Amino acid sequence: MTTSNRIRFATLNLLNFTAPPYSFYQLHERYNATQWRQKQQFITDFLQQSQATVVAFQEVFSPKELAILCKEQGYDYFATVASPRSDHLYPQVLFNPVVAIAAKIPFQACHELTPCPELLEYLNNQNEFKFNRTPIKCSFDVPEFGDLTCYVVHFKSQRVHSMAHILNIHNQDDPLLNLLQQTVGMMQSQISRSLEASIVYYDALKTQREKNCATLVMGDFNDNIDSPALSFMTQGFHPTRCEPCLELEQPIVGLTDSFELSSESANGKVKPATHYYQGRGNVLDYILTSGHFNTDCALSRIKSLHYLSFDKHLNPNQIDEDICVSDHSGIGIEIGF
């Protein structure tokens, strides 16, 4: 079966992309001139290797510098929807990195994802909800393919916020504090991550229903898709068991892990880890797709889907982070249509 068109989409957590002289999180955490050149070269190499038309980024502290770098590689369209926050005492120290998107084709629309008020009310989070990192919602008219909606996400990390102030405990090694943070704290982190995912999931499915558009959700999910916090995003939708869609006369609605639709999965390959912690590999980064990307679906124009991993810089045995590269692999998909 031949295909006349191919296009790639990719995502990469950049690990504290912060241009000197700025620091990330703490005053001493910053790049020297050599490290910064190596960091920029790492991203350039990734863009050249991935050959993606659309790329999602996470952990961006310096969006202007990233936009320039992407422009040099042919990505004329670049967007963020939020800004990092600086420390009030040390303005050169930055917090709250943002997500970004770069593309070689123009955006039809690109803006921050605004939670549906009715959904927040349904979830009992009418006023207090705020994304840890505001997602991007972007739409394209892909030549020879059609309408595509992309979401760029970086869900709440598994890092637990200290409960010391609640307990009025100043000793961080206190057994009670440690126990509560490992239980209640971890639960709170899961709830926050699940809530963020719920809002993205709702908007993606609603947009699919209204516009019948192909959909991608790309980014660092900070958890396995089969975890209790995230499994709802793909459970209940089985595009590999394609219904006779033409007879349904309804838009395709749902999301699935792109790897499950890939030729690599069909050939029995194991999905590669995207992050290592203490020598153990985990899959934290995902590209979720709508049923439009299912090669077996009657309504799909996709003839092939390949899953791509850009992980040569990862060392499973490395303990300390190397800020000159990333602690995540890049991932991508290539579709033929």
pLDDT, mean over the chain: 90
> Encoding tokens for residue 269?
């390959």
pLDDT tens for 199-247 read 999 999 999 999 989 999 999 999 999 999 999 999 866 555 555 454 5
Kindly report the CATH number assigned to the domain that includes residue 54.
3.60.10.10
Residue 264 covered by a domain: yes
Strands 6-17 and 146-154, sheet pairing: unpaired
Helix, strand or coil for residue 17?
strand
Portion of the chain with pLDDT greater than 90, in percent: 74
Lowest mean pLDDT among 130-134, 247-251, 309-313: 247-251
Q: What are phi and psi of 70, to 5 degrees?
A: -65, -40
pLDDT at 169 (0 to 100): 67
Assess whether the previous peptide bond of 21 is cis (omega < 30° from 0). Answer: yes
pLDDT band at 198, cuts 50/70/90?
very high
Q: CB-based burial of residue 34 (10 Å sphere; 0-12 exposed, 13-18 middle, 19+ buried)?
A: exposed
Q: What are phi and psi of 277, to 5 degrees?
A: -135, 120
Whole-angstrom distance, CA of residue 194 vs CA of residue 60: 22
Whole-angstrom distance, CA of residue 325 vs CA of residue 310: 12
Q: Measured over all CA atoms, what is the biggest interatomic distance in the chain, rounded to whole angstroms?
A: 67
Query: Is the Cβ–Cβ distance between 96 and 133 less than 8 Å?
Result: yes
Q: CB-based burial of residue 115 (10 Å sphere; 0-12 exposed, 13-18 middle, 19+ buried)?
A: buried
Residue 218 covered by a domain: yes
Best CA proximity match to 294, nearest among 330, 259, 247: 259
Helix, strand or coil for residue 118?
helix
Lowest mean pLDDT among 122-131, 141-150, 178-187: 178-187
Helix, strand or coil for residue 209?
helix
> What's the number of domains the chain is made of?
1
Angle between helices 33-50 and 63-72 (to 10 degrees): 50
Portion of the chain with pLDDT greater than 70, in percent: 85
pLDDT at residue 1 above 50? no
pLDDT at 157 (0 to 100): 79
Whole-angstrom distance, CA of residue 293 vs CA of residue 302: 6
pLDDT tens for 268-323 read 999 999 999 888 999 999 999 999 999 887 778 899 999 999 999 999 888 888 99
Best CA proximity match to 55, nearest among 102, 99, 106, 104: 102
Type and span of the H or E element at 257 = strand 256-257
| pTM of the complete model | 0.91
pLDDT band at 177, cuts 50/70/90?
low
The residues with which 153 forms a beta bridge, in sequence order, are: 219
Listing DSSP states for 230-252 in one string gives: TGGGTTT--TTS---HHHH-S--
Query: Is the Cβ–Cβ distance between 289 and 256 less than 8 Å?
Result: yes
Average pLDDT over residues 157-181: 64
Residue 1 covered by a domain: no
> What domain range is 115 assigned to?
6-336
Whole-angstrom distance, CA of residue 79 vs CA of residue 63: 8
